[in-house]
Amino acid sequence: MPVNATGSEETERDEEAGSDEPSLPINELFYSLQGEGKLAGVPSVFVRTSGCNLRCWFCDSYHTSWEPTHARMTLDDIVAEVESYDANHVVLTGGEPLVHGESVTLLDRLSELGYHTTVETNGTFLPDAPIDLASVSPKLASSTPTPENDPKGDGEWAERHEERRIDVGTLAGLVDAYETQLKFVVTDDADLEEIEELVSAVRDAADEPLSDTDVLLMPEGATRDGLDENRERVAELAMEYGYRYTPRLHVDLWNDAPGT
């Protein structure tokens, strides 16, 4: 699906409020294989919204966060396009899809139609929605954009990102409400200390158990070359700590091509 408009997280709710029909800012809507997590390899329809409340410096969906680009689609049109594909699994992703209130309405409709839904979220929102798998990717300190790694080069988002990136209560709420996987992007060995501390904090705050096999380590890298630099070490860390390793199949198969 082509994109033909631009927007930002600050304007999304105003745009939605003024729309005659329920709609979402859609960056991409496509059919592919789930590339990450427990359902890696499953044929899926991806609904990628634009707009995010965080700004990871390594974001692999740059045009949903740093420079949001999208075409607004009504929920009727989104559902119709989802139904045009031969798949019963839908991945709602972003950006951060839960920053948009209409994402909950879309999930309600997909559930009524019998779709299995995965929501890929940064774990800072706790929705009241039918979600079959909450794929939660808490953002570690290594994700914060500094003047040295900020894609825009100014570090303007560093403080906001750092303040917002972790909410243990919300993470625990997601674990209690849904089947949940915690999927961490690992940039180097130093990330594991923070991961261990965060997993422990979520376990203490949640009523439902969180097993080691629900904690996934994923190498940072949006291209094959980037993954080549990180995947072996991250796999070794998964074995060392007893967590699950997750590949990025879509990158292995199609590199960084859009719509994959």
The tens digit of pLDDT for each residue in 117-173 reads 999 999 999 999 999 999 999 999 999 999 889 888 888 899 999 999 999 999 999
Least confident of 3-17, 67-81, 124-138, 213-227: 3-17
Residue 211 bridge partners (DSSP): none
**Extents of the domains making up the chain:** 5-254
CA atoms within 13 A on the CB side of 250: 22
CATH number (3.40.50.1980, 3.20.20.70, 3.30.420.40, 3.40.640.10) of 5-254 reads 3.20.20.70
Amino acid at 173: G
Residue 232 predicted with pLDDT over 70: yes
Cα dihedral value 198, 193, 34, 94, nearest 10:
60
Contact (CB, 8 A) for 218 and 185? yes
Query: How high is the pLDDT of residue 60?
Result: 85
The Cα–Cα gap between 43 and 48 comes to 16
Instruction: State whether residue 132 is helix, strand or coil.
Output: coil
pLDDT in tens, 183-216: 999 989 999 999 999 999 999 999 999 999 999 9
Sign (positive or negative) of CA dihedral 43, 48, 54, 56:
positive
Cα–Cα distance measured from residue 153 to residue 14, given in angstroms and rounded to the nearest whole number: 29
- Half-sphere exposure (Cβ direction) of 100: Cα atoms closer than 13 Å: 32
